[in-house]
Chains A and B, each alone.
Chain A
Amino acid sequence: MTNDTIDLDQLTGWLTRFRDLVTEKVAYLTELDSAIGDADHGSNMTRGMGAVLERIQASPVGTVDELFKGVGMTLVTSVGGASGPLYGTFFLRIGTTAGPVKALDASGLAAALRAGLDGVVARGKAEAGDKTMFDVLAPALDAFDAALIVSSDISSAARAAYSAARTGRDATEPLLARKGRASYLGERSIGHVDPGAASTSLLFQALAEILDEE
């Protein structure tokens, strides 16, 4: 299946699949977070994405920016901790960049995702190798952009992004945490996958799967 554009239904499908994946993996995310954090990442993301889907179902939107601004604000107000502002800012920036359109083409989606990453960096000040969601988001978007140079098919770009996301996620395991609560553990943070990196990888898994399904 190839896709030159992604429309509102597909974007909503992406969010729905992400909700399903974090719900399915709630125990896994919480286990990762109990090793180097405060053991609530799974339940926080499940609660947040549950609220997002409730909102979408309760008040359908007509444009991409409306969709993602709603997603961002819902996550900010329902997730809490650091994940709320980080994921919230990610989606808010996607919405602002996408604008009042009904669908995005490949370069439009790439630009929106890139703006989301910039928002995460502005909010969290993370750099490569700090053992955060940045270590998945940045390489995944680099892979997404690289795939689009070869073809304008969003599906194959999403698969490439997911592949890079998994690699990035696994690469956080040997890292020493330099941001967030995990950083207080120092050397003891080594040997654990970062929970935020793991949930971000699910975000790209969701995108790849929803586009391949059709």
Chain B
Amino acid sequence: MKKLINSPETVLADSLIGVAAAHPELRVDHVNRIIYRAAPTRVGKVALLSGGGTGHEPLHGGFVGVGMLDAACAGAVFTSPTPDQMLEATKVVDSGAGVLHIVKNYTGDVMNFEMGAELAAAETGITVAVVVVNDDVAVEDSTFTAGRRGVGITVLLEKIVGAAAEEGRDLAAVTAVARQVNESGRSMGVALTSCTVPSAGKPTFELPEDEMEIGVGIHGEPGRRRVPLAGAAEVARQLVEPILADLDFTGAPTIVMLNGLGGTPLIELYVMYAEVRKILDAAGITVARSLVGNYITALDMAGCSVTILKADEDLLHLWDAPVNTAGMRWGI
């Protein structure tokens, strides 16, 4: 394992020190491992709280700031944060208008956020709403598994819902936008290599040089199938077809994200994006907005994911609203 770290045990703490040093517009609670905005939540503004295991940067800490999240709870690499963190963060960001918890659908995250919300209700009386994000079409059997995993749509959701909260919409309205985005978005990823969790010191899974994992999860969860490595056009086809088979994206403007998983250069992401666009154009799907880059990663995994969101005028308006975070910035 070759990594730029001091020790596997201190990766998270050390990175939070870096975040605090680089971003004076943010505050870091190093004890509770919470990244939050330096400016308190405006009175009347619904607060957005997310979080999860780290290793997916810029998600979630990189999306704290004007137009997106109010706070993010950081767990150890690929490990959910704990309820006391969510309780503390909820207290920090609430301005009286309520807090929306944005939770990716993983067993640990769901249970820990659920307990955090219960503690907040019992101790503070703060109104907490929850949206569980589950957009990974790679999981075919949702009934007899933990269900679809929360992946790429989380990025689009945090941006769009952040704008809705910034506009002053109330908790019910903000939550409704979150549900709409989750229900209208689908993702699918591919891994060319495994990732290496610092504390494990070796790759999470073995993947031969000439094979790829179609449908991989952002922690290296197994996908739909392992197939021979192919050119970008064929890989794009294998990612986009299952998405289009799952939801009808015609007749509405879409937002498309081509996301890198951490170990793939941007030039390859653009090669992939070109291929994705050819497929979408041929399928008669209107792409209104695009996002290409590393937004929800899996440490050093080589590979990418495609996310498509069926939008409408309101979602496009919220997408275009100003955002000023470490990981996403425009219109400011």
Q: Which residues of A contact B (CB under 8 A)?
A: 38-40, 76-78, 80-82, 84-86, 88-89, 123-124, 176, 178-181, 183-186, 188
CB atoms of B111 and A82 under 8 A apart:
yes
Query: In this complex, what residue of A is CB-closest to B149?
Result: A184
**B84 contacts A by Cβ under 8 Å:** yes
CB atoms of A183 and B145 under 8 A apart:
yes
CB atoms of B111 and A77 under 8 A apart:
no
Query: In this complex, what residue of B is CB-closest to A180?
Result: B107
Cα of A184 to Cα of B145 in the assembled complex, Å = 6
Interface band, chain B: 20 to 34
**B219 contacts A by Cβ under 8 Å:** yes
CB atoms of B75 and A85 under 8 A apart:
no
Cα of A187 to Cα of B114 in the assembled complex, Å = 29
Query: In this complex, what residue of A is CB-closest to B113?
Result: A85
User: Which residues of B (295-324) have their CB < 8 Å from a CB of A?
Assistant: none
CB atoms of A124 and B111 under 8 A apart:
yes
CB atoms of B84 and A76 under 8 A apart:
yes
CB atoms of A179 and B107 under 8 A apart:
yes
Given A80-B75, A85-B111, A181-B221: A39 and B200 within 8 A (CB)? yes
Chain B residues whose CB sits within 8 angstroms of the CB of A81 once the complex forms: 79-80, 108
| Proximity string of chain B (71-103) to chain A, C-beta cutoff 8 Å, 1 when within and 0 when not | 000011011111110000000000000000000
Chain B residues whose CB sits within 8 angstroms of the CB of A78 once the complex forms: 82
Count of A-B residue pairs with CB < 8 Å? 72
| Proximity string of chain B (132-163) to chain A, C-beta cutoff 8 Å, 1 when within and 0 when not | 00000001010011100100000000000000
Cα of A52 to Cα of B2 in the assembled complex, Å = 35
**B262 contacts A by Cβ under 8 Å:** no
**B67 contacts A by Cβ under 8 Å:** no
CB atoms of B222 and A80 under 8 A apart:
no
**B112 contacts A by Cβ under 8 Å:** yes
CB atoms of A38 and B78 under 8 A apart:
yes
CB atoms of A183 and B79 under 8 A apart:
no
Chain B residues whose CB sits within 8 angstroms of the CB of A179 once the complex forms: 107, 146
Given A184-B145, A184-B146: A80 and B80 within 8 A (CB)? yes
Query: In this complex, what residue of A is CB-closest to B220?
Result: A38
Cα of A78 to Cα of B112 in the assembled complex, Å = 12
Cα of A155 to Cα of B311 in the assembled complex, Å = 63
Query: In this complex, what residue of B is CB-closest to A79?
Result: B82
CB atoms of B79 and A77 under 8 A apart:
no
